[in-house]
Amino acid sequence: MRKTILVLLCLLLLCVPVSGRCQEVDLAPTPTPAPIALTPLSDAPLLENPPLHPACAAVLLAEADSGQVIFQMNADVPRPVASVTKLMTILLALEALDAGRLSPQEVVTVSEAAAGMGGSQVLLDVNERQSVDTLLKCMIVGSANDAAVALAEAMYGSEALCVEAMNRRAGALGMTGTHFENCTGLPADGQHTTARDVAVMSRQVFAHPHYFDLSAVWMEDIDHGDGRVTQLVNTNKLLKLCDGCDGGKTGSTNEAGYCVSATAKRGDMRLVAVVLGADSGKQRFAIAREMLEYGFANYRRYPVAVRGTKVKGRLPVTGGTADGVALVLDGELTLLVNRGDEQRVTLQPDLPESLPAPVEAGQNVGHVRILADGREIAQIPVAAAEAVAAKTALWRRILQRWVATEG
C-alpha cells in the first residue's frame, strides 16, 4: 500500500495541472554553454623585429580573429600590469552571463570589503545595491576596484575564490606566464603576467559582443540610490584618439608603469595592441595608437579558402554509376598578409588519381595545400560534393528485373 502511494505521489509531481491541463516537467538539466574557443595565439610573429621603436617594457600586436602575432617585444617576460589584470575578472563575468549563472539585471549588495577597496573606485557604499551590468560597466569603463570585488563576490562568494577561478581559467587558456593574487590588479607579491598572456585574455574578452555594449561608454553618471551620483569617465583615451578603437583596458601603478591593451576594428579586421611599462599615460596611448595604425596600414585579411567552394574539375570514379564526382573545400582559412602580397599565396591540390565506388557525399577524398612563397603553411580538406553509387553486377540487374517482373 505504501509503495502504491509513493508511486502516485511521484506521478503527481511529474504532472502539474495548469489551467485544467497536465503539463510535463522537464527533468533534463539545461546544458551550460562552453566557453568561446579561439584559434591559439601564434607562436611566431610575422616580423622578427618590431618595425617601430616603442619606449616601454613590452609590446605585442596581433590580429584578433586568427591570433596571428604581427610583432612583439619582450612578450614573454613576466611583469605586473596593474588594472589590466581586471581583464580576467571581466572575462569570468562575461562567461558567467553566457552560462546563465549571472543575469545583467541581477542586483548585488555591496559588501564592506568591496566598498573599502583603495585605488580607482566608483565610490560604492556598504550595502549599496547595484546591478551586475552596472558593476561590470564600472569595471570596464572606470576600472573601479570596488565594483570588481563586488562582482567577484557575487560570482564566487569571495574574492579569494574568484582569484582561484582566475588562475584556473588562465591555466586552461595556456597562460603559462601568469599568476593572480587579486581580482583588481592592485600591487601584490607574486602577481604577474606577460604581454602575450594579456593578448590571450584580451582576445577572449573581445570575443563577447556584450563587452562592446559597455566598453564604448565615454561618460555616464552612476546613481548610488541615496541622492549621490558618481561620474564615470572612460580611462581608455584611445576611444577618442584612434579611428575604430572601441575597447581596451588600462592600468598603472608605480611598479607596473603605464599599461594598456587596446583594440580597434576597421572593415573586417580587428587588431589588439598590448603596451606594458610605459613612462606615462600619454606615452602608452601614443605607442598603442602607432602600433594599431601600422597594422591597419600594412596588413589585410585574405580569405584563402571558403568552405563549400567548388574545386575545379571532377575526380574520376571507377566502378560507379557516374564517371566522376564534383569536389568542394571542406574547410576555410583566412590569412593575415602584407597588402599586395596576396599573389605569394598559392593552392596546390593533393588528390588521388581516382576513387573506387561507392563514394558518399561529404566523404574526405584528399586536401589542398596552402603555400606561401612555396612553403606549406596549412592544409584544407577536400570532400565529395555528391554521392556516386557502385555499378550493380550484370547478373544482379537481370535477377532484380526478373523478380520485379514475376511480382
**Which are the catalytic amino acids?**
83, 86, 143
Longest dimension (CA), the chain: 95
> Cα(29)–Cα(382) distance, rounded to whole angstroms?
38
Q: Answer for the pair 253, 80: CB distance below 8 angstroms, yes or no.
A: yes
Residue 296 DSSP SS3: helix
**Strand duo 310-318 + 345-350: pairing:** unpaired
173 DSSP assignment: T
Helix or strand holding residue 261 (H, E): strand 257-266
Q: Answer for the pair 104, 133: CB distance below 8 angstroms, yes or no.
A: yes
- The dihedral over CA atoms of 371, 375, 381, 387, expressed in degrees to the nearest 10, equals 60
Instruction: Report which of 294, 293, 57 is spatially closest to residue 198, judged by C-alpha positions.
Output: 57
Q: How deeply is 347 buried, as exposed, middle or buried, from its count of CB atoms within 10 A (0-12, 13-18, 19+)?
A: middle
Residue 7 identity: V
Instruction: Report which of 150, 203, 194, 148 is spatially closest to residue 175, judged by C-alpha positions.
Output: 194
> Cα(153)–Cα(147) distance, rounded to whole angstroms?
10
> Cα(262)–Cα(271) distance, rounded to whole angstroms?
8
Rg, the chain, Cα only: 29
Helices (H), 56-194: 86-99, 112-115, 132-142, 145-156, 159-172
Instruction: Report which of 359, 360, 289, 368 is spatially closest to residue 333, judged by C-alpha positions.
Output: 368
C-alpha grid cell for residue 132?
551586475
Residue 374 DSSP SS3: coil
Instruction: Report which of 260, 295, 313 is spatially closest to residue 45, judged by C-alpha positions.
Output: 295
